[in-house]
């Protein structure tokens, strides 16, 4: 066989079966075994046989005057040298560069320590048999709680009877508390599961009624008391999109072909924009009143913020391009409105429940409603009328909270704008927002403001303890644990009637007062 190349000069041979430089030098300088008399034997025991070349290489590194061992073992300060003691057979210690000699003061075995302790104190400790330990424990928490029952290590004093009884009592108390928590959580889970099964059964039975009875006779049954009560309970997801489309209607007479025309126009506009344009240029273009279609580029900035936890509308997600298309087509269809932040949430909810063209038709007709049009066109005078009407019913239903808000000059626009712009789809959990949409499609804009009053009623006690900043922050980001049962019970308690006037009548009277005020303040005609 070919000879192995010699090892590089200055490096030791690293092998699991070989000893390191320190070990070789130690053996050369001091014998491993000394007799009890303290004198060295005539000749040290020869080391095991090694290959000649490896031995020469090893000796060449370890030898040559003062060895590495002498350097590492010498003291930097003068100290009285100790007489070497006989080595004890035990596992050697470890250091970074290999094995070192066994430590002089080895740790005593736990049994020896226990024996010394018993001899010194005269007490005998008999640990209980393993079978007697915790034999009647039914519950074992998944933590270190049960360690309190463990016996101490043998090298430590044993527990006294009083201490053992105290530990047993503390452990039993901890286990009892843990059992209570487990039972409480189990009951809570069972309750949630029962409610979910009950809800699924109700949805299944309601779906049969909607499909077989209501939808085929929509115009004749939509206003009946039975349908309205069924509607209040929430629409089955399988028919939700269809009912929304029928309830919103299509007053604009938009067809799928018209949607394709405006979609192709939007795609042409996207191609015309430079990919290297900065965000500032995009925002300036979006703010231009002369060309609202330029707000197409604003859509890209807003889509990634739409339901970010779902990931389906993010770039690369299954609905990203679909949402982009619906919003782009609407921007070209209504350049007088353009794209406004918040539209993406409304379009996304519709896309989740309808096909692409149907979602666009419902989206365009929904934004054509008076309330949505006033907000998305930022008609300040109309928005103020809606806020004033809201405050009328706010004071009627929640007088204490109304005065609390007034004391901090907290106006409805601070929290209502975000709720109305997104139809609660950003502020509430998605399933609960869809439930709000169900009744909104039934009752119209009035239910949006009734829902706002229901939220305020639900958290009235909490809001009464807050100041301006905390109220604004709380209403901007509502708690995630809000449930449909609690919210809709609070909404049902809200009476949308003031001095025998309903919402539409109160809003109409505010509009009338505004027109009369405009006439009184108008300049007199010139003669």
Same domain, 318 and 261: yes
Same domain, 377 and 494: yes
Same domain, 227 and 325: no
Q: What percent of the chain has pLDDT over 90?
A: 46
Domain-located, residue 217: yes
Which among 341, 367, 393 is the end of a domain? 367
Domain-located, residue 346: yes
CB 42 within 8 A of CB 82: no
The pLDDT-based confidence of 32 (bands split at 50, 70, 90) is: very low
pLDDT at 28 over 80: no
Domain-located, residue 9: no
Number of domains forming the structure of the chain: 3
**Average of per-residue pLDDT values in the chain:** 77
- For residue 293, count other CB atoms closer than 10 A to its CB: 19
What DSSP string runs through 385-454? HHHHHHHHHHHHH-HHHHHHHHHTT--THHHHHHHHHHTTTTTS-HHHHHHHHHHHHHHTHHHHHHHHHH
Interatomic CA distance for residues 398 and 67, integer angstroms = 91
Domain-located, residue 389: yes
DSSP conformational letter for 340: -
Which among 367, 391, 408 is the end of a domain? 367
What DSSP string runs through 453-506? HHHHHHTHHHHTT--HHHHHHHHHS--TT--HHHHHHHHHH---EETTEEHHHH
Domain-located, residue 452: yes
CATH of the domain at 431: 1.10.472.80
Same domain, 260 and 362: yes
pLDDT at 418 over 90: yes
38/347: higher pLDDT: 347
CB 233 within 8 A of CB 435: no
Same domain, 179 and 266: no
CB 26 within 8 A of CB 69: yes
Which residues constitute the domain of residue 505? 373-516
Q: How far is CA 242 from CA 216, 231, 238, 352, 358, in A?
A: 12, 13, 8, 12, 9
pTM of the predicted model as reported, rounded to 2 decimal places: 0.64
pLDDT at 437 over 80: yes
pLDDT value at residue 343: 93
Which among 329, 350, 367 is the end of a domain? 367
Domain-located, residue 527: no
pLDDT value at residue 248: 96
Same domain, 182 and 260: no
Same domain, 427 and 497: yes
CATH of the domain at 307: 1.10.8.270
- For residue 509, count other CB atoms closer than 10 A to its CB: 13
Same domain, 363 and 265: yes
Same domain, 392 and 362: no
Tell me: the pLDDT tens digits for 339-350? Answer: 998 899 999 999
Same domain, 356 and 382: no
Tell me: the pLDDT tens digits for 245-288? Answer: 999 999 999 999 999 999 999 988 888 764 545 444 444 444 44
Domain-located, residue 141: no
50/119: higher pLDDT: 119
pLDDT at 296 over 70: no
Same domain, 396 and 496: yes
Question: 156 is written with which tokens?
Answer: 């430590």
pLDDT at 292 over 50: no
Same domain, 353 and 317: yes
Domain-located, residue 92: no
């Amino acid at each position: 066989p070919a000879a192995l190349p010699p090892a590089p000069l200055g490096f030791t041979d690293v092998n699991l079966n070989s000893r390191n430089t320190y070990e070789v030098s130690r053996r050369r300088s001091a014998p491993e075994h000394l007799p009890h008399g303290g004198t060295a034997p005539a000749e040290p025991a020869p080391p095991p046989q090694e290959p000649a070349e490896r031995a020469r290489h090893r000796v060449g590194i370890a030898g040559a005057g003062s060895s590495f061992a002498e350097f590492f073992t010498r003291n930097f300060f003068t100290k009285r040298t100790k007489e070497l003691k006989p080595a004890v057979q035990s596992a050697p210690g470890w250091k970074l560069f290999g094995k070192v000699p066994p430590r002089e003061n080895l740790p005593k075995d736990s049994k020896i320590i226990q024996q010394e302790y018993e001899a010194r104190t005269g007490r005998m400790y008999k640990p209980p048999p393993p079978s007697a330990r915790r034999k009647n424990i039914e519950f074992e928490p998944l933590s270190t709680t049960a360690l309190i029952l463990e016996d101490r290590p043998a090298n430590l004093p044993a527990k006294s009877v009083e201490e053992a009884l105290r530990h047993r009592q503390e452990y039993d108390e901890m286990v009892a508390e843990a059992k209570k928590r487990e039972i409480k959580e189990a009951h809570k889970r069972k309750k949630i599961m029962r409610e979910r099964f009950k809800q699924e059964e109700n949805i299944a039975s309601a779906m049969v009624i909607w499909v077989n009875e209501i939808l085929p006779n929509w115009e004749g049954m939509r206003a009946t008391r039975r349908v309205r009560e069924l509607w209040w309970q929430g629409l089955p997801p399988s028919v939700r999109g269809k009912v929304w489309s029928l309830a919103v209607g299509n007053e604009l007479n938009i067809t799928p072909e018209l949607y394709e025309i405006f979609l192709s126009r939007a795609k042409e506009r996207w191609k015309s924009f430079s990919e290297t344009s900065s965000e500032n240029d995009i925002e300036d273009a979006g703010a231009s009143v002369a060309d609202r279609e330029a707000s197409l580029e604003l859509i890209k900035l807003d889509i990634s913020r739409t339901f970010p936890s779902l990931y389906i509308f993010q770039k690369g997600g299954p609905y990203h391009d679909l949402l982009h298309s619906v919003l782009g087509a609407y921007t070209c269809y209504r350049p007088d409105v353009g794209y406004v932040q918040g539209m993406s949430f409304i379009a996304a909810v519709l896309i989740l429940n309808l096909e692409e063209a149907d979602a666009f038709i419902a989206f365009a007709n929904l934004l054509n409603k008076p309330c949505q049009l006033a907000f998305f066109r930022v008609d300040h005078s109309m928005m103020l009328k809606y806020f004033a009407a809201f405050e009328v019913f706010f004071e009627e239903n929640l007088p204490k909270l109304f005065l609390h808000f007034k004391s901090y000059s907290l106006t409805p626009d601070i929290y209502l704008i975000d709720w109305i712009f997104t139809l609660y789809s950003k502020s509430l959990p998605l399933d609960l927002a869809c439930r709000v949409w169900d009744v909104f499609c039934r009752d119209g804009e009035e239910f949006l403001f009734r829902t706002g009053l229901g939220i305020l009623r639900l958290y009235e006690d909490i809001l009464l303890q807050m100041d301006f900043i905390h109220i604004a922050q709380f209403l901007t980001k509502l708690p995630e644990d809000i449930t449909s049962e609690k919210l809709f019970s609070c909404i049902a308690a809200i009476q949308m009637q003031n001095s025998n006037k309903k919402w539409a009548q109160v809003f109409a009277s505010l509009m009338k007062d505004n027109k009369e005020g405009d006439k009184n303040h108008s300049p007199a005609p010139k003669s």
